[in-house]
Amino acid sequence: MEKIINDCPIIYSKNNTNTSLIESAVAYIKLAQKERINVIWLETSGCSGNIISLLNAEAPDVYYLLKEMINLKFSNSLMVVEGEKAYEKFLETLDTKFILIVEGAVSTKDNGLYNIIAKYKGRPITGMEAVQMAGEKAEYIICAGTCSSFGGISAASPNPAKNKSVDEFLNKEVIKVPGCPSHPDWVIGTIAHIILIGKPELDSKSRPIIFYGITIHDNCPRRSYFDKGIFAKQLGDKECMFKLGCRGPVTKTDCPTRKWNSYVNWPIGNNATCIGCAQERFPDGMEPFIR
């Protein structure tokens, strides 16, 4: 086991950003014969983008995640047709060792009435109540997406439902995996690290350094144009889009090397500016997205 950890690229190559990181983590989990861990996934005030992103995972895919890595005990997004039986699984899981994953900000106005995740014995269960209950007992708390990590679009001005980030609401340590949505590799890779070794090394914003260690600007294929002071004048130009409003210089993710949608493309590769969706000030502090 010691050799497995010493050889693990998650520990010694934390800035490695290609897909082999996840593949290696999965292989080490199998070699170490680690137990699957229980998971509660709560969707609170959000758009379902992160659970949809997770369902599009490929390396590994969701089937592998559910079969080999975790026991998904509750997801109000995926188990709605199971009704009260699903919520009973949620309650049972609170007495086990589990990871809590939250997507979406926590609606707090009127005791969370604007976000209902279940109905149990005739009583509506708010996302706020569920996050509070699970957050108090979870071994680890993962914030999937920018809304749960920093408030995001859900807490954008004027924020009528008084949405808050998970750590602001719970006042507990969390592991933030921001993005709008979060890349499935970031979420699954964080889970893999927890199963194999424990909490990954985090930066000052509580993000795993393995995925958020350097800015998009550092690995952008248009960086040479920036260094030479050559800038695009309109969308579609091949030069650096900094003067068009690109937020790559202040956004820390590995999008340039990991890419999206089966690792095919990413915003700048498609001639669009980075809008800083993984940053703590998104969206209010990143606007206007295009100058």
**Helix (H), strand (E) at residue 5:** helix 2-7
Mean pLDDT of the chain: 90
| Number of CB atoms found within 10 A of residue 224's CB | 11
**How is residue 86 written in tokens?**
């699903």
Q: Give φ, ψ of 266 to 5 degrees.
A: -155, 170
CB 104 within 8 A of CB 45: yes
Q: Give φ, ψ of 72 to 5 degrees.
A: -80, 105
Q: Please state, in angstroms and rounded to a whole number, the distance separating the CA atoms of residues 176 and 149.
A: 5
- The domains of the chain, with CATH numbers, are 2-212 (3.40.50.700), 216-286 (4.10.480.10)
**How is residue 147 written in tokens?**
């809304």
Residues 53-81, mean pLDDT to the nearest whole number: 91
Q: Please state, in angstroms and rounded to a whole number, the distance separating the CA atoms of residues 40 and 99.
A: 6
Percent of the chain with pLDDT over 70: 89
Q: Please state, in angstroms and rounded to a whole number, the distance separating the CA atoms of residues 113 and 134.
A: 18
| Number of CB atoms found within 10 A of residue 143's CB | 29
Place 9 in a pLDDT band, splitting at 50, 70 and 90. very low
Work out the angle at residue 173's Cα, subtended by the Cα atoms of residues 167 and 177, and round it to the nearest 5 degrees: 70
Tell me, what's the pLDDT at 26? Answer: 65
Residues 233-262, mean pLDDT to the nearest whole number: 94
Q: Please, which residues have CB within 8 angstroms of residue 90's CB and are 6 or more apart in sequence? A: 40, 73, 74, 118, 130, 134
Residues 10-14, mean pLDDT to the nearest whole number: 38
pLDDT at 21 over 90: no
Q: Note the pLDDT tens digit of each residue in 179-224.
A: 999 999 999 999 988 988 889 999 999 999 999 999 999 999 999 9
Q: What is the DSSP letter of 35?
A: P
Q: Please state, in angstroms and rounded to a whole number, the distance separating the CA atoms of residues 148 and 165.
A: 5
Tell me, what's the pLDDT at 83? Answer: 87
**Helix (H), strand (E) at residue 99:** strand 98-103
Place 20 in a pLDDT band, splitting at 50, 70 and 90. low
Q: 134-138, 186-190, 285-289: which range is least confident on average?
A: 285-289
Residues 16-45, mean pLDDT to the nearest whole number: 72
Tell me, what's the pLDDT at 68? Answer: 84
Supply the pTM of this predicted model: 0.90
Q: Note the pLDDT tens digit of each residue in 91-131.
A: 999 999 999 999 999 999 999 999 999 999 999 999 999 99
Tell me, what's the pLDDT at 7? Answer: 46
**Helix (H), strand (E) at residue 226:** helix 223-227
Tell me, what's the pLDDT at 106? Answer: 98
Place 289 in a pLDDT band, splitting at 50, 70 and 90. confident
Q: Note the pLDDT tens digit of each residue in 144-168.
A: 999 999 999 999 999 999 999 999 9
pLDDT at 242 over 80: yes
Residues 65-78, mean pLDDT to the nearest whole number: 93
Tell me, what's the pLDDT at 148? Answer: 98
pLDDT at 45 over 70: yes
